[in-house]
Amino acid sequence: MLEVKSLQVSYGAINALDGISLSVKPGAIVTLIGSNGAGKTTTLKAISGLLRTQAGSIAYDGQDITNLPPHQIVKLGISHVPEGRMIFANLTVHENLMMGAYLQKDRHVIHGELELVFATFPRLKERGKQIAGTLSGGEQQMLAIGRALMGKPKFLMLDEPSLGLAPLLVKTIFEKIVEINHQHGITILLVEQNANLAFEISQYGYVLETGRIILQNESKLLRQNPQVRSAYLGA
């Protein structure tokens, strides 16, 4: 579904991504883990067109999308839930969700998506008219994911959905991610620092370190890898 080849991205003189390659199969949950500054967020931003790449290629469903503008990439069915929740704080919950369907003009489709989002996150329905900036952290994360779902994506990229959330909420959010994957049939690329949980729900994983992929394997095997265990799982 997604094929990234020798991707290179730099911020000025600094190479953030030094030729990484990864692939995501349809219907899968694939995770990308790594410490701060490894290049996880940069990878997602490059895929969604928010950053320009210097070299390498990104293909989606066989189509080359390298350096396409973000709105065209969204149109192809790729949604990005940015790090740190980044909801529109001055808009209501409902308006935030509507912004997610910005490129969708068909009212029936929008309405259907809204129902699906509310079915997944009933809390968002209760809070429809509330200004999004006043939601709790967990609710904001739900809103950020819900907003991305409004775009009717086939491929969803989540950037550290567990960031700054209480452990119990993290668990809820991860259950929802699995639900979105299973019930909506949406392929997911998950960036996480919480490697334990990420490996638990994903089928395949990549370990990123200073702009390079140092390990890749099936998640259950990565979990047992001594190198991964000592560096990321605290064992």
80 binds other proteins, rule: CB under 8 A:
yes
Binder of other proteins out of 74, 114, 228, 231 (CB under 8 A): 74
User: Which of the ranges 8-16, 78-86, 163-171, 185-193 carries the binding residues for other proteins, by CB under 8 A?
Assistant: 78-86
Beta strands in the chain (DSSP E): 2-11, 14-24, 29-34, 55-60, 63-64, 78-81, 155-159, 187-192, 204-209, 212-218
Distance from the Cα of residue 154 to its chain's centroid: 12
Beta strands in 12-140 (DSSP E): 14-24, 29-34, 55-60, 63-64, 78-81
16 binds other proteins, rule: CB under 8 A:
no
Identity of the amino acid at 19: G
182 binds other proteins, rule: CB under 8 A:
no
User: Which of the ranges 66-74, 116-124, 194-202, 219-227 carries the binding residues for other proteins, by CB under 8 A?
Assistant: 66-74
By CB under 8 A, what part of segment 137-176 binds other proteins? 144, 147-148, 151
Q: Count the neighbouring beta carbons within 10 Å of the beta carbon of residue 158.
A: 27
91 binds other proteins, rule: CB under 8 A:
yes
User: Which of the ranges 43-51, 111-119, 175-183, 203-211 carries the binding residues for other proteins, by CB under 8 A?
Assistant: 43-51
Alpha-carbon distance values, 54 to 20, 72, 198 (Å):
12, 19, 29
Q: Which is nearer to other proteins, 90 or 224 (CB)?
A: 90
70 binds other proteins, rule: CB under 8 A:
yes
Q: Judge contact between 16 and 42, C-beta under 8 A.
A: yes
Minimum CB distance to other proteins, residue 44 (Å)? 9
214 binds other proteins, rule: CB under 8 A:
no
Q: Count the neighbouring beta carbons within 10 Å of the beta carbon of residue 219.
A: 19
* Backbone dihedral angles phi then psi of residue 140, each to the nearest 5 degrees: -65, -40
User: Which of the ranges 12-20, 24-32, 82-90, 211-219 carries the binding residues for other proteins, by CB under 8 A?
Assistant: 82-90
* Interaction site with other proteins (CB under 8 A): 45, 48-50, 69-71, 74-75, 79-82, 86-92, 95, 98-100, 102-103, 131, 144, 147-148, 151
